[in-house]
Amino acid sequence: MAGFTKKEIRATFLELLEQKPLSKITVKNLVEACGINRNTFYYHYRDLYDLIDDIFNSEADKVLFQNPIHGHWQEGCLQSMHYLMDHRMIIHNVFNSIELESIKAYLLRFTRKLLRTFCESIDKNKNIPNSDKEFIARFYSHAFIGTFLDWIRGGMDQPPEEVIGIMVRMLNGSIYDVLTGDGLTD
C-alpha cells in the first residue's frame, strides 16, 4: 500500500504542477487533491522539495536506464530534451519556482550520470583513469547544462534534433578523442 500511496502522491503532484507554479502549491493542496492526510504525506516526504527530488531522480533514472545509450551521448540528450518537451508545463512551473542553482544541481547530477555511462562504454579495455573520466563528465556536463538551460529559457522552441545536431557537429569525436588519447597532445 505504501508504494501505491507514493505513486498517487507523485501523480497528483504532477497534475497540480500542470495547472500552477510550484510556489502556489502547498502540502495542504496536495493532500486534499490526493485524498490523504498530512501525516501520510510526511511519512513519505519531508516537504514538497523532497517530493520533487524523488520525482526527478526516478524520472532521470527512467530516461537514463530504460533506454541505454550504447555509447552515443546524443541519444541520451535527445531523450532528455523530448522528456522536457513532453512535460513542458511542469518544467515551466518548476523552473520559475525554484532557484536556478537547485535546477542546475539536478541537471548536473543527471548529465554526469549520462556522460559517465558514455565514458565507461568507451573504456572497455583501455584502462582510462577514473579521474580523467570524471573530469570529462564534469566538463561536458557544464556545457550541456548551459545549453539546456538556454533552450528552456527560450521556451523550448528550437527542435531538440536541431540543438543536438549543432552539438554533435561541435563535439564530433572530441569526447571519444580525449578518452582514447587521440585528442591529447603532450
Q: Kindly report the pTM of this predicted structure.
A: 0.72
Q: Hey, what CATH topology would domain 60-180 get?
A: Tetracycline Repressor; domain 2 (1.10.357)
186 pLDDT tier (thresholds 50, 70, 90) = very low
DSSP 91-117: HHHHHTTS-HHHHHHHHHHHHHHHHHH
CA dihedral (136, 70, 150, 163) positive or negative: positive
Taking 90 as the threshold, does the pLDDT of residue 171 lie above it? Answer: no
CA gyration radius, the chain: 19
Give the domain ranges of the chain. 1-45, 60-180
Average pLDDT over the chain reads: 83
Predicted confidence (pLDDT) at residue 169 exceeds the cutoff of 60: yes
**Res 173: pLDDT:** 66
Give me the pLDDT at residue 26, please. 94
Fold held by 1-45? Arc Repressor Mutant, subunit A (1.10.10)
